Amino acid sequence: MPENLAHKIIAQHLASGDMQPGTEVALTIDQTLTQDVTGTMAFLQFEAMGVPRLRTKLSVSYVDHNMLQTGFESADDHLYLQTTAAKFGAYFSRPGNGICHQVHLERFGIPGQTLLGSDSHTPTCGGLGMLAIGAGGLDVAAAMAGIPLHLSMPKVTLVHLTGTLPPWVSAKDVILELLRRLTVKGGVGRIMEYGGPGVAALSVPERATITNMGAELGATSSLFPSDEQTRSFLRAQQREAHWTPLSADPDADYDDTIELDLGTLQPLVAKPHSPDNVAPAADLRGTRLDQVAIGSCTNSSYRDLMTVAAILDGKRVHPNVGLVIAPGSRQVLRMLADNGALATLIAAGARILEASCGPCIGMGQAPPSGGATLRSFNRNFKGRCGTSDADTYLAGVEVCAASALTGEIADPRLLGDPPAIPAPDTFPADDAMVIPPSEQPGDVGVRRGPNIAPVPARGPLEDTLRGKVLLVTGDNITTDDIMPAGASILPLRSNIPAISQYVFSRLDPDFASRAEHHRGGFVVGGSNYGQGSSREHAALAPMSLGLRAVLARSFARIHHTNLVNFGILPLELPEGQALSQDDDLLIPEARARVQSGRPLAVENLTTGTTFQAACHLTPRQTRIILAGGLLNYIKEGGL
């Protein structure tokens, strides 16, 4: 039978399971990536497994998120990551080398291989033809130990592209259009595979922008074929030997198809406070801005920043707007410096940040109170920018650069002819800031700062669960809502007792103290609970506060897995069933019902009512929950 590309790669990496949507499959993992915010805990968990050396083909530990060293914590974490990488067999990308997804695309991604990363935007490398998946750090630690990734077999959606992008329309507008159509829940349980005649004209950096923001659709992964565009990119990166042609078979089957004529698109903007709240830039003209920020793993490539430099050449940023630019990698920054584009950006009034995630993860450059910021990033959740009452808009670099000149959201089509940015024949392949693992790992001592705490754990699932409803939330609760980022919180990622004090702090500043007072309890959510990043801290920190279960209408994929990995029951709340904060809940026979796959009876002792809550787990997830989490399960000999 003709096969689509996703099925071809999955079949080549299938360790167990049947490739039927909804059934559990296990995939062997070729490569992993971690970054400093999630990687410290991932390597602590890897150490706890007692495996002496990584068992992947390649693993890279990046430092790109936690770059503001306002205290010793971040610097200590970086030393921990550098020494664990040397000891256990990972490459270490030093601070300043760039954002993990951009650098991995440039220097390490290989078409047809599998990549698991402790960051939700790991599917960026799908732009190269990799099956790249984001996951919680514990799943990545398990993959580094040689344990296959277990997940529910996704459906595969074909996004059939026709036509070509009009002038001033970019790859960012492709993914924003899909978000407008499908919403942030539209890709849940799916791989978005791009095909059709429109693919051929999209460069690898453009494809990577699209696959990067597939995470905002909730997709398991996003995937482009490996073709002559891929070959040209890898040749320019001096890695042509890694190229192999990969594509879907003619007449391959898909679970569904989305038709998208690139020629019909226009510059788009995501309005506050969700990436799917999309409108044409032309409709938002005149919206006043205080700040424009360009960069992130979505739009910080050489092509992106050369486009910005061409737009700003000979002009000045509007006096009421602060423009900040963060190159995606040291490679990009060096090329801008060598060809004079960096001088052009500086002369225009841009502030140049280091090659890092920076303001995308809330590490500096917060806009003013009540202000408005336009960003070429991937998320605009409320408060993520660092200012709780600011409005955050998302757009491609063309809209951002035009808006930086006018002081308000602008339609770049009014600027005349767009700049032509030719792809480089050669990129500088300088990996001096990537440190290979030690050839004598026994001589490496792991550096642990005082902020690094042991991995917390809980015991097996109890027979009876009882506790208060600690918080009732709405739909589309994000991992930023559960476990915020930002400069004051991120340095605590390796210290769960400390960071747990910030759980739900933006929704309810008293949540942590109330959870500690009641010795844990329950949280109630709506649909798509836990959307957003892969941060397992959004499950790990609540677990340390005693959270026993989350009752929600539905769950985002990665967060559902993270809850299971840390022994927290993900229970599905029946439609129409209401709960209130401080309700006293009792779940009897919890262990027996989970083991048998039956719904759990939830008794509301406050109202005197009882309802049934489903708990959809695979057989393996059932064993993990019963053990009290994945780390317990692995230590007991589970795989």
Q: Which of 288, 339, 334 is nearest to 309 (CA)?
A: 339
Give the neighbor-by-neighbor strand order of the sheet with 351-352: 278-280, 268-270, 391-395, 372-375, 291-294, 322-325, 351-352
Tell me what pLDDT residue 443 has. 94
Domain end, chosen from 263, 278, 309, is at: 263
Q: Do residues 289 and 259 share a domain?
A: no
Q: Do residues 211 and 67 share a domain?
A: yes
Q: Is 457 within the bounds of a domain?
A: no
125-165 residue pLDDT tens: 999 999 999 999 999 999 999 999 999 999 999 999 999 99
**What's the CATH code of the domain at 522?**
3.20.19.10
Q: Do residues 253 and 290 share a domain?
A: no
Q: Is 429 within the bounds of a domain?
A: no
Tell me what pLDDT residue 220 has. 97
pTM summary value: 0.94
Contacts 24+ apart (CB under 8 A), 332-338: 332/98, 332/102, 332/300, 332/301, 332/302, 332/305, 334/428, 334/430, 335/302, 335/424, 335/427, 335/428, 336/302, 336/305, 336/306, 336/309, 338/428
Tell me what pLDDT residue 486 has. 82
Domain end, chosen from 263, 287, 313, is at: 263
Q: Do residues 58 and 154 share a domain?
A: yes
**What's the CATH code of the domain at 325?**
3.30.499.10
Q: Is 425 within the bounds of a domain?
A: no
Q: Is 449 within the bounds of a domain?
A: no
State how far the Cα of 634 lies from the Cα of 49, in Å rounded to an integer.
Answer: 7
Q: Do residues 378 and 475 share a domain?
A: no
462-509 residue pLDDT tens: 999 999 999 999 999 999 999 998 888 888 889 999 999 999 999 999
Q: Is 10 within the bounds of a domain?
A: yes
Q: Do residues 473 and 541 share a domain?
A: yes
Q: Do residues 343 and 390 share a domain?
A: yes
Q: Is 606 within the bounds of a domain?
A: yes
**CA gyration radius, the chain:** 23
Across the chain, how many H-helices and E-strands are there? Answer: 20, 27
For the chain, the domain total comes to 3
* b/e sequence 350-378, b meaning 16+ C-beta within 10 Å: bebbebbbbbbbbbbbbbeeebbbbbbbb
**Residue 207: DSSP 8-state:** H
Q: Do residues 248 and 285 share a domain?
A: no
Domain end, chosen from 248, 263, 278, is at: 263
Q: Do residues 485 and 588 share a domain?
A: yes
37-75 residue pLDDT tens: 999 999 999 999 999 999 999 999 999 998 888 889 999
Tell me what pLDDT residue 362 has. 84
Q: Is 68 within the bounds of a domain?
A: yes
Q: Do residues 230 and 292 share a domain?
A: no
Q: Do residues 151 and 36 share a domain?
A: yes
Tell me what pLDDT residue 265 has. 98
The residue range of the domain holding 331 is: 270-415
State how far the Cα of 441 lies from the Cα of 262, in Å rounded to an integer.
Answer: 51
Tell me what pLDDT residue 488 has. 82
Q: Is 428 within the bounds of a domain?
A: no
Residue 436 CB-half CA count within 13 A: 4
Q: Do residues 111 and 192 share a domain?
A: yes
The parts of the chain modelled with pLDDT lower than 70 are none
CA distances from 555 to 179, 273, 477, 537 (A): 18, 20, 10, 16
